[in-house]
Amino acid sequence: MPEIGPAEPWIVREIGAPAEQDGALLQGESVFALANGHVGLRGNLEEPHPGGMPGTFLNSLYEERDLQYPEEGYGFPEQTQTIVNGPNGKRIALYVDGESFDLRTGEVRRHERVLDLRAGTLTREVEWVSPGGAEVWLRTERLVSFVRPSVAALRYSVRADAELRIESDLVVDEELPSPREDDPRASAILQDPFEPISHDDDQLVCRTRRSDISVAAAVTHTGADGTVSSTPELIRWVTTGRGEITFEKFLAYHWPATDDAVTDRDAAARDGFDVLAREQRDYLDDFWAGADVEVDGDPDIQQAVRFGLFHVLQAGAQAGPHPIPAKGLTGNGYDGHTLWDTESYVLRTLTYTHPGCVGPALKWRHNTLDHARERARELKLDGAAFPWRTISGPECSGYWPAGTAALHVNADIADAVLRYHAATGDDEFMREAGDELLSETAKLWKSVAYFDDEGVAHIAGVTGPDEYTALMDDNIYTNLMAEQNLRAAGVDLRLNIPYAENRQVHEQAAGFTRLPEWDFTDDDYPLMLSHHYLNLYRKQVVKQADVVLAMMVRGDAFTTEQKRRNFAYYEARTVRDSSLSAPIQAVLAAELGHLTLAHDYLAEAALLDLRSGGESGGDGLHIAACAGAWISLVMGFGGLRDHGGALSFRPRLPPGLTRLSFHVHWRGSKLCVTITRDTVSYTADGEVTFRHEGDEVRVRAGEELKFAVDPIDDIPAPPSPRPPRRHSLSA
């Protein structure tokens, strides 16, 4: 059974050959996925077997499916969209003296894969003895270009004292495994979504049968002589030889289909794999110079935060006119849909680490504005109602209590717009897209808000971030974020903020603290797999941070003592059945002095996909949790806040860390923050004004500002029904 090797600062290493039955194959395919936001190659082995979940994902290449309901209802979406497995060019079959290279046969003496976070490549090395006794050495290198959005490339080298035959394929509609039946959250698996249009030895052109999206996939090989044949579903290049064969394989994709796929492929092949690899390294050198986070004292977290940032970049770098899906392009989880965590988690991290990704991502929302307006009209509301789940813009969620009713997605988009503009000063973006997004989202709040007999404004019957508490009045997160949205659009409307005087805490929604308590004595998690929503919705049980999230993003609306009481109250009721929860709980735990608890929550978020068995079902990485590692460190222990468009820091370190250093992009400058046990220093390559511990300071290029860090006590964690696993530091 393979395992992720000991933590290394800049690489993720898998040692051992994955087997189909232990889940590690699927996990590795997600962990070792390569993407650029436009094209994604799941980390499948090159040979057809063993095989997990094939995946060549082209952003927004989807098929339509009908949604079925036991009972029809007005405004229920009639169709959904599901990402499909595109033409696969990773597959390479090797035959050694006529025997198939297959890890399930013969003897695997060595098998290792390395994801290099600075080079942006996946390397595989294998030593294998065939059933017939031939000793084989195999090395492959793979990349998906950050510089050339349509291009992927692979270098393949095999050596053996035997006759070798290689069949290198570009295949459409390869067979996929059956969908999982043990989890209702599992994504749909669409077999044979394409119909052929044309083919030759250069490229395959096909289209999805219902959504009618055409795709051109071009392939070529260099470095060895071979023969090519093609059918409507397959281009196969075959080469033979004895002793050693090395070749390079170049792929390019365009959708809708154009001849540019061949043009891009040819340009990549002329330049060669080494040039593409240098471009990749240069791009990543620039990224890490402004995004890296250095963590001293915890090697696991050091590796994990870089792994997370790398995959966040892979999800967003070249997404361009397309969205950033919840799983990025690492798997088919959530059917490839984009949800609210893109704006609230992924774009939050990218705004401060690689802001060039954020404007295009928000422009994609603007490009789908007509769909959101149409949905608002269907709901008898004004302005725009952005979807809970979508690929191209229409609402794709059939479960409306936790979908359509979650109107806060409007305010999450507006929040991302405000954050991006404050951090970059991109006035052109505001003129082209941002101002209209703020206006149209605010119109929805004006149409749903109402005044009671006492003149107090409310928003009734919505679902906040906590999906175990649906259709409530005055969800505190929704109301606070809607207020901010309205204020940005020039509307001053104070919405009710529910507060339980008898318990001295803010209510997640009006009446929440009067609901029956949940019995936590005998539960398996996640609760939604063993309890009906009727039971969950009427109890005080919280799936994920809701009030706690409100205290992070709108911390200016709470006093420190209110935060302390609220945090303790909701810790006792939160079960974290969502990967979105731990990063937020880490941030507030750090702010309130629960430093060891914050470190444990940080580890839960950061190591979710790297721990053995941590990546659920092999359907892709949790990109929001990848972003959450940065959020936990920088907003938690760095104390970064951006309330009202102003940058501020309140740094503190947990007992397990001795130093934390990170970069923040702000108004065209890069600010570097370095925290030790005793001091915090700020340097920048331009002038940056911000607040340190509440006091306004300014750092200029070439200067260093240094302040003493006052020690704070590590306050014990409040009671929790499901505390995070204690994080033990590696030696």
Give the residue numbers marked as catalytic: 467
Distance between CA atoms of residues 100 and 542, nearest Å: 52
- Residue 296 near residue 621, CB atoms below 8 Å: no
- Please give the full DSSP string across 77-113, using - where no structure is assigned: -SEEEEE----B---EEEEETTEE--TTSSEEEEEEE
Please classify residue 382 by burial: count the beta carbons closer than 10 Å to its beta carbon, then call 0-12 exposed, 13-18 middle and 19+ buried.
middle
Say how many C-beta atoms besides its own lie within 10 A of residue 562's C-beta.
15
Distance between CA atoms of residues 404 and 387, nearest Å: 7
What separation in angstroms does the CA of 602 have from each of 295, 496, 597, 631? 12, 32, 9, 9
Query: Angle 504-510-514 (CA atoms, 0-180°, nearest 5)?
Result: 65
How crowded is the C-beta side of 371, counted as CA atoms within 13 Å? 17
Q: Which of 120, 119, 141, 111 is nearest to 14 (CA)?
A: 111
Could you tell me whether strands 688-692 and 648-649 are parallel, antiparallel, or unpaired per DSSP bridges? parallel
Distance between CA atoms of residues 156 and 176, nearest Å: 25
Beta strands in 429-561 (DSSP E): 450-451, 457-458, 499-500, 505-506
Which residue type sits at 341?
D
Which residue type sits at 582?
A
Structure tokens at 111: 């098998």
Sign of the four-CA dihedral 574, 579, 580, 586: positive
Q: What Rg, from alpha-carbon coordinates, does the chain have?
A: 26
Distance between CA atoms of residues 524 and 138, nearest Å: 44
- Residue 123 near residue 114, CB atoms below 8 Å: yes
- Residue 474 near residue 448, CB atoms below 8 Å: no
Per the listing, tokens 């991109």 go with 426
Q: Which of 288, 372, 296 is nearest to 338 (CA)?
A: 372
